[in-house]
């Protein structure tokens, strides 16, 4: 995600240990983990809703296209009106 190597994570952990202290570090890590987990859930939910809306729009476009094609008749449908395979 952030493209951090092992050495960078060790440096961050040592700095956190110095500034935060050994007593508060587990609580901070737990809170950070919960926050990241909640952000992932929110992101997945938003992605699912977006996908659902785009699927509905795609279905409406397909219906409209097929209605137009049926009104024109098969002999009057040009190649650009057809759906690519």
How many C-beta atoms surround the C-beta of residue 66 within 10 A? 11
pLDDT > 90 in the chain, percent: 48
Location of structure tokens 């219906």 = 63
Query: Residues 27, 16: contact at Cβ < 8 Å?
Result: no
Q: How many other C-beta atoms lie within 10 A of the C-beta of residue 73?
A: 8
Helix (H, G, I), strand (E, B) or coil at 19: helix
pTM above 0.75, yes or no: no
Q: Other C-beta atoms within 10 Å of 16: how many?
A: 15
Domain spans of the chain, in order of start:
23-61
Structure tokens at 3: 């493209």
pLDDT tens profile 1-41: 568 898 998 898 889 889 888 899 899 889 999 999 999 99
């Amino acid at each position: 995600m952030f493209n951090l190597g092992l050495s960078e994570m060790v440096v961050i952990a040592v700095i956190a240990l110095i500034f935060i202290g050994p007593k508060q570090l587990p609580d901070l890590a737990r809170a950070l983990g919960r926050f990241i987990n909640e952000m992932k859930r929110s992101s997945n939910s938003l992605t699912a809703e977006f996908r659902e809306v785009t699927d509905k729009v795609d279905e409406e476009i397909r219906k409209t296209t097929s209605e137009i094609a049926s009104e024109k008749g098969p002999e009057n449908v040009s190649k650009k009106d057809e759906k690519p395979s």
